[in-house]
Structure 1
């Protein structure tokens, strides 16, 4: 049976309505071929298939780890095709997310201790203090009866947390937020802007590293700089810059959009919001359900089959690219009954994670524990601080057309 072909992942048909696109893919059998950056890839929305793509060692993220000749475009080649300036590509292809096997483990170990559940729980009071301050300031930002919750709460909370952790000075944080938002907007029609943004991020990272070499700091970057200087074999200078970019961008962009998406979901499902108000103990399960139902990421990056792999809904041949569409897997009816229904009690008392919002396998999100705590703090504090919180009907939220990230451009609420 032939595999159906779907539109390019950057086409309006995919970006304007990603969930509809993924549902059509499910109706077509659960997998299809689409193109991205001029390269074909097989898309999968079946939960079991997605977990295999993300967790099976037969799938790699670096095409250099494919044995023998292959016509598959590497990630650097894809970025070059998209118009990213050649000297910048290394900073988008040498991070922890771009490594397999021992190379991945080497980089992951350097930062994983910072994100253990115990250490993150110890950070909770500080996160709560940041949230309380931002919520107290929200009324000062009201204009025409409402305030943009993304601009004044959802983004500032995680950017403050991750920048404190990494060591970005407070006066530079708005620029980092703007750069990372531009980079993840996925505006592939303007590669010169993407390149300019990436160059600014790299130069800012170099300045940050130089400052940490010259002055004493007590943060994660200090430890990473020391590792690089003492033993360059453990982390190269390019890897250090890429690690900074990965930590700061991934460490706040996705969490900010979880808070924005989740708040919009709760305000449009008042019965679920009432459940949360009545039972604060529901917060951990609520965060898991919001991650499943309106998580910030639609898809993972490409994986490449090192040999033929037969999946539930299709076969990936050696050298072919596969993409786990995790937003589709998170609505797999075989795993999540009535998947389109938001149910904050769905995960209550359930062991582990039934969703794939943080990925799966070796590349499982480093900051998952931190994101969960930030989500719990945000969704617990907002209704408490503003019991009458509601969407502004005169300024409806607009979703950014994007097949990679699920996010609103703004979110105006009445306090």
Structure 2
């Protein structure tokens, strides 16, 4: 620790293995920490109130520097990769205003009946994937579901959906050659789907975007609509790790699992608790100081990067009662977790991710009441990813 600011080394095996303890320790030392790895260093807010304030503070902006572009992307695809997530006001506000009606909680609830058969179809197939009496839920349930939902949401024709599953798997794997190689197919598929929906409107996102119009007559361009599809594919992978983390937690907390099966009405609150307690995002997207700003007694210079420890803030005892305990019946009305961020860049697809996770977990527990881990909990393999809490495998017996 230097000058009262805790330092967290993201290459430390203990930090990678248990980031919640690492960020929790830093949080109790100070509200601001320094997080670093080779070629990377960022200020991080560790406590809830300070973190929430920064996420809504216009003095800190998301820019194209907040993201690392995937390698090997063809030049003709690059115009579609700068999503509104990378923009700040006023460009971000304009795009968000135009597309927000398609992502409301009401629209997500209306979409639930179209998610349910997608979930049931994947559950029907699980016995076909048994190997030695076990099946890995990650490649056979948690990973394909979000891209199936995205295809249904966007309006991708049935014949093209197997190929989009391959794209989704490549994107979910993170940056790398496969990630970059999937982008031309996604862009071309979005172009084709857009042309189809222009000729044949339907009940899907592209039709909504084609008809979206602000009061001043502003409309999305074709490039912006295709970019929105890319944004949905990229951001829509969150339920993979949320569902996988939740299932793993239920398997390792049998008393909570039994409670959820006995009281299925708790599922919406349970999903919020999973997001708080084992949500996939450990760190927020970095924001850059527009000017010199003092945070928690430390001067942050203009241009310096600041992030939020979601893992630390969501277990802050100053805000959450008994924060280290998983409580699927945690009373409604407590402080909202930061799993979907806060402020202008609050996750646009949060309502859809919630509904998708509720449907997936409810159906899984109903269809396979004897679900059990096929390996000891301590043998769970996780990706050595300092920004995301995600499993590499999730073997179970049915």
Shorter-chain TM band: 0.7 to 0.9
Do the aligned partners of residues 342 and 97 (structure 1) sit closer, same or farther apart at CA in structure 2, a change above 3 Å counting?
same
Which residue number in structure 2 is paired with residue 41 of structure 1?
42
> Helix, strand or coil: the match of 2:306?
strand
Q: State the 1:134 CA deviation.
A: 2.7
The answer to whether 1:166 aligns with 2:150 is no
Do the aligned partners of residues 177 and 199 (structure 1) sit closer, same or farther apart at CA in structure 2, a change above 3 Å counting?
same
Q: State the 1:237 CA deviation.
A: 4.2
The answer to whether 1:135 aligns with 2:120 is no
Which residue number in structure 1 is paired with residue 220 of structure 2?
235
> Helix, strand or coil: the match of 2:288?
strand
Q: State the 1:42 CA deviation.
A: 0.7
Question: CA offsets per residue over residues 269-309 of structure 1, 9 Å max, x none?
Answer: 00111111121121111111111111122222111122333
CA distance in structure 2 between the aligned counterparts of 1:28 and 1:177, rounded to whole angstroms: 44
Conserved in 2, the CA contact under 8 Å of 1:16 and 1:402?
no
Which residue number in structure 1 is paired with residue 348 of structure 2?
366
The answer to whether 1:248 aligns with 2:233 is yes
> Helix, strand or coil: the match of 2:383?
coil
TM-score normalised over the length of structure 2: 0.86
Question: CA offsets per residue over residues 300-353 of structure 1, 9 Å max, x none?
Answer: 21111223333347443332210112122112222223322211122x3x2275
CA distance in structure 2 between the aligned counterparts of 1:352 and 1:90, rounded to whole angstroms: 42
CA distance in structure 2 between the aligned counterparts of 1:85 and 1:157, rounded to whole angstroms: 26
Q: Give the counterpart of 2:241 among 239, 246, 257.
A: 257
Do the aligned partners of residues 309 and 177 (structure 1) sit closer, same or farther apart at CA in structure 2, a change above 3 Å counting?
farther
Question: CA offsets per residue over residues 362-402 of structure 1, 9 Å max, x none?
Answer: 11111111222222222222222111110112795421221
RMSD over aligned Cα atoms: 3.1
Q: Any gaps of 5 or more consecutive residues in structure 2?
A: none
Which residue number in structure 2 is paired with residue 51 of structure 1?
52
User: In terms of mean alpha carbon deviation, does 133-142 or 106-115 score higher?
Assistant: 133-142
TM-score normalised over the length of structure 1: 0.83
User: In terms of mean alpha carbon deviation, does 265-274 or 403-412 score higher?
Assistant: 403-412
Do the aligned partners of residues 103 and 338 (structure 1) sit closer, same or farther apart at CA in structure 2, a change above 3 Å counting?
same
> Helix, strand or coil: the match of 1:79?
coil
Conserved in 2, the CA contact under 8 Å of 1:163 and 1:248?
no
Name the count of aligned residue pairs. 392
CA distance in structure 1 between the aligned counterparts of 2:25 and 2:79, rounded to whole angstroms: 36
Conserved in 1, the CA contact under 8 Å of 2:72 and 2:181?
no
The answer to whether 1:408 aligns with 2:391 is yes
Which residue number in structure 2 is paired with residue 70 of structure 1?
none
Conserved in 2, the CA contact under 8 Å of 1:43 and 1:322?
yes
> Helix, strand or coil: the match of 1:41?
strand
Q: Any gaps of 5 or more consecutive residues in structure 1?
A: 64-73
Do the aligned partners of residues 126 and 199 (structure 1) sit closer, same or farther apart at CA in structure 2, a change above 3 Å counting?
closer
User: In terms of mean alpha carbon deviation, does 387-396 or 120-129 score higher?
Assistant: 387-396
CA distance in structure 1 between the aligned counterparts of 2:120 and 2:277, rounded to whole angstroms: 26
> Helix, strand or coil: the match of 1:301?
coil
CA distance in structure 2 between the aligned counterparts of 1:343 and 1:143, rounded to whole angstroms: 34
Q: State the 1:266 CA deviation.
A: 0.5
Conserved in 1, the CA contact under 8 Å of 2:245 and 2:390?
yes
Conserved in 1, the CA contact under 8 Å of 2:137 and 2:396?
yes
Which residue number in structure 2 is paired with residue 222 of structure 1?
207
Which residue number in structure 2 is paired with residue 376 of structure 1?
358
Which residue number in structure 2 is paired with residue 67 of structure 1?
none
Conserved in 2, the CA contact under 8 Å of 1:84 and 1:194?
no
Which residue number in structure 2 is paired with residue 209 of structure 1?
194
Q: State the 1:203 CA deviation.
A: 3.8
Do the aligned partners of residues 224 and 379 (structure 1) sit closer, same or farther apart at CA in structure 2, a change above 3 Å counting?
same
Do the aligned partners of residues 60 and 109 (structure 1) sit closer, same or farther apart at CA in structure 2, a change above 3 Å counting?
same
> Helix, strand or coil: the match of 1:101?
coil
Which residue number in structure 2 is paired with residue 291 of structure 1?
275
Conserved in 1, the CA contact under 8 Å of 2:73 and 2:184?
no
Q: Give the counterpart of 2:68 among 53, 56, 79.
A: 79
> Helix, strand or coil: the match of 2:68?
helix
> Helix, strand or coil: the match of 1:322?
strand
Do the aligned partners of residues 2 and 89 (structure 1) sit closer, same or farther apart at CA in structure 2, a change above 3 Å counting?
farther
CA distance in structure 2 between the aligned counterparts of 1:166 and 1:179, rounded to whole angstroms: 15
